[in-house]
Amino acid sequence: MIKKINPFLFPWVVSIIATSGSLYFSEVMKFVPCTFCWYQRILMYPLTILYGFGFFKRDKNLFLYTYPAVLLGNALSFYHYGIQKFGFYHPMNVCSAGVSCSGIYIDWFGFITIPLLSFIAFTSLNGYIIFALRKHKKTL
Closest of 4, 25, 9, 5 to residue 125, by C-alpha: 9
Q: Write the pLDDT tens digit of every residue in 75-88.
A: 999 998 888 877 76
Residue 1: is its pLDDT beyond 60?
no
- The neighbour count for residue 78, using CB atoms within 10 Å, is 17
Q: Write the pLDDT tens digit of every residue in 2-34.
A: 577 788 899 999 999 999 999 999 999 988 888
Q: Write the pLDDT tens digit of every residue in 106-134.
A: 877 877 888 899 999 999 999 999 988 88
Q: What is the percentage of the chain residues whose pLDDT exceeds 70?
A: 85
Q: Phi first, then psi: what are they for 90, rounded to 5°?
A: -135, 95
Residue 139 amino acid letter = T
- Kindly list the structural domains of the chain, giving each domain's residue range(s) and its CATH number in brackets, ordered by start: 9-135 (1.20.1550)
